[in-house]
Chain A
Amino acid sequence: MADTMQFDLVSPERSLASLQVTAVQIPGADGDMTAMPAHAPTITTLRPGLLRVESPEGNSDYVVSGGFAEIGSEGLSVLAEKAIPVTEMTRDHLDELIEAARAAHAAAHENKTEHHSLVDDATKLLADMEALGEHINL
């Protein structure tokens, strides 16, 4: 069994990473999961969170939001609408994300009679964002 697999992280604007990795922790919509070589083929959507990449050269973390991950026979591709390496992440970036989450939260609250799940989703998103901030010490 191969002990590494191909990993690609791309956003619409640029390709952020393409390397051989041993494991990747993905913030999936239904919960975090770790993909390792020879994982069953899976497609999952992403929730905003931290993508943790373990490769023989060392680990790297990315903040991702929106998009999906595709685990195939050859490797793993993550297509994120927004992806920022944690090293480049600043308080401003996070504030922007939190602000967007707050706006979504407020909007969901206004018409909450229609969709209860929307409010829950937005609340969860906001909590995710704040947890993320604490996680990376900003």
Chain B
Amino acid sequence: MPNLKDLKNRIESVKSTRKITKAMQMVAAAKLRRAQESAEESRPYTKRFNAVMAGLAASVGGSSSAPLLLRGTGSDQTHLLVVMTSERGLCGGFNSSIAKLARLKAEELKSAGKTVKILTVGKKGRDSLKRDLGDDFVGHVDLSEVKRVGYVNAQDIAKDVLGRFDAGDFDVATIFYSEFVNVVTQIPTEQQIIPASFETVEGDSDGAVYDYEPSEEAILADLLPRGVATQIFAALLENGASEQGARMSAMDNATRNAGDMIDQLTIQYNRTRQAAITNELIEIISGAEAL
């Protein structure tokens, strides 16, 4: 039976935990709004970009003069998995679900006899994949110093990935990130970025035949590397929003659990206190009766 002082200390400690989780929840809520805004602001760019690229790819694609980034190296022996996670923990299942998806994919590829290379973005995913797949790591991008993810960060990652591609380090690149649906739902997603695949946008076939300046091939060669950066940027933003959403709901749960615990402990505390008082009374009364 814990004594009164222990109980009191427990209650105090749970209370301060609750304060922290509550604060984290509110910070996450504020950050989530910002992250969502920037995700939405980038959407028109990504959408138009993909529409144009889809058109270009459709007209040039297939021909042997198409850039390597579009038609691939012709093999799919070596895969690069770009695993994007957060730099900080305490956000529920966010990081582990991305890592899990990446791990499954890596195992699947390995059992098919392919070579797997892993580039991690964000510390948490690196930590959780290190044990099983540590030997396959080829690099890591640290974003812990970055306050707000900008296009520049995506460009840096893209440059890294493209550099490896040009050096012939891999044939296929896939990014792993979490798609933001709402505060309680984030879907871990994998998306192939090299060779590039563009979804054809429906209802966009207005039949307009474009003039290209310079040639279609030159434009495509110029835009494909930018496309990689654009897709990475979109994924980073989705990830940012997902992270804050996941943290917000995780911290909301934690705050509620702390509240429940405080209630329980308070009841126990009061019972113990009353038992002590009753005990004392009994002692006084029986002492008085003995006289």
Interface residues of chain A, those whose CB is within 8 Å of chain B, are 8, 10-15, 28-30, 33, 40-45, 66-68, 70, 72-73, 77, 79, 81
Q: How far is the CA of A30 from the CA of B222 in the complex (A)?
A: 14
Interface residues of chain B, those whose CB is within 8 Å of chain A, are 38, 41-42, 44-46, 48-49, 52, 56, 150-151, 154-155, 206, 208-214, 218-219, 222-223, 226, 230, 233
Q: How far is the CA of A3 from the CA of B56 in the complex (A)?
A: 29
> What A residues does B230 contact at CB under 8 A?
12
Taking a contact as CB atoms under 8 Å apart, the answer to whether B151 and A13 are in contact is yes
Give the distance to chain A from B274, nearest Cβ to Cβ, in Å.
62
Taking a contact as CB atoms under 8 Å apart, the answer to whether A68 and B223 are in contact is yes
Give the distance to chain A from B47, nearest Cβ to Cβ, in Å.
9
> What B residues does A44 contact at CB under 8 A?
212-214, 219
B222 CB contact (under 8 Å) in A12, A14, A42, A45: A45
B210 CB contact (under 8 Å) in A30, A41, A67, A79: A41
B52 CB contact (under 8 Å) in A10, A43, A81: A43
With A13-B151, A45-B219 as known contacts, state yes or no: A70 contacts B52, CB within 8 Å: yes
Known: A40-B211, A44-B212, A44-B219. 6 other contacts (CB 8 A): A14-B41, A29-B214, A30-B214, A41-B211, A72-B206, A72-B208
Give the distance to chain A from B15, nearest Cβ to Cβ, in Å.
41
Taking a contact as CB atoms under 8 Å apart, the answer to whether A13 and B210 are in contact is no
- Please, could you name 17 A-B residue pairs with CB atoms under 8 Å apart, sorted by A? A12-B42, A12-B154, A13-B42, A14-B41, A28-B213, A41-B211, A42-B212, A43-B56, A43-B210, A43-B211, A44-B212, A44-B213, A44-B214, A45-B213, A45-B223, A67-B226, A70-B210
